[in-house]
Structure formats: C-alpha cells, structure tokens
Amino acid sequence: MKGLLSGLIALLLTFGGGYFYGKYVEREVQQAEVDRLNTEARAKEQALAAAVTTTAEALRKTNEKAKLATKQRDAAIDSGALKLRLKTTCPVPAATDTAVASGDSAGEARSELDPTFGKALFAIAEEGDRAITKLNACISLYNQALESQKGIK
C-alpha cells in the first residue's frame, strides 16, 4: 500500500511538474512571438513615419514653389506686364466703319479685367489646387498605410 501511495504521489508530481514546465515553455514561446511581432510593428511604424515626413516635406516644397509663383504673377499683374483679357460681346451694334482693326485680335472684341479682380480669381483657383494637392498626399499616405498593414492578421 505504501508503495502504491508512493507511486501515485510520484506520478502526480511528475504530471504536475510536466504540466507546469510545459506552461513555462509555452509562455516563453509566446513571449518570443510577441517580441517578434512588436519588432515588425515598430519597423512598419517607423517606415510609415518616414513616409509621412517625406510626403509632408514634398508638400511643403510644393506649397513654397506655388507661393513664389503667385508672388511673381501678382507682381507681373501689378506692373502691367501681365494683362488679363477676355473675349466679350457687346449688345450695341458696332459702328459701320469698314476700317481694318489694328492689333492681333483680328477684330475680336476684348476687355481687360481689373488687376485686383484677376488676382482674386487666381487666388480662388490656387486655393482649390492646394486643397487637391493636400488631398492627393493624404490619399497616397492612406494607401501606403493600407499596403503596409496587409500582412498583419
């Protein structure tokens, strides 16, 4: 009886020790997997941060170039070097003068816009261009983030 009880205790101790050792080994394996996945996630995060920085820098440079072009164009409008002309029609009939009109308009009716109004029109168009550029940069970053996250389950 004493041998049976000793054998049963030894069996239980062996089973319990094996069970707890197996849990320990499994915990170590799981911790190694978590560490590996964390390292991958950090690498992807750093790559996305670099992409955001690169895109933001490119967007900043594009905006600076656009501002410079705007200043140059506004200066040309103010100096009169750039004139904003539109094709127009007049409801009043033209004089019956049959003389040939001089200039390159070939007798076409044209009017010149006020420089302030022209600059305001350009400003509205440029604001739209800047918004579209920002949107395209955001879409590009979103697509990069989506592609980088496809491997994560």
Nearest to 136, CA basis, from 74, 78, 59: 59
User: Both tokens of residue 67?
Assistant: 């501002």
Mapped to the 3 state alphabet, what secondary structure does 102-127 carry? CCCCCCCCEEECCHHHHHHHHHHHHH
**Average pLDDT along the chain:** 85
pLDDT of residue 5: 83
pLDDT of residue 151: 65
pLDDT of residue 145: 86
- pLDDT band of residue 4 (cuts 50, 70, 90) is confident
Between the alpha carbon of residue 27 and those of residues 10, 13, 37, 48, the distances in Å are 25, 21, 15, 31
pLDDT of residue 13: 86
Query: Is the whole-model pTM more than 0.95?
Result: no
pLDDT (tens digit, 9 = 90+) per residue, 35-83? 999 998 899 889 889 989 999 999 999 999 999 999 999 999 989 888 8
pLDDT of residue 128: 94
In the chain the first and final C-alpha atoms are separated, in Å, by 56
Q: What is the mean pLDDT of residues 78-107?
A: 69
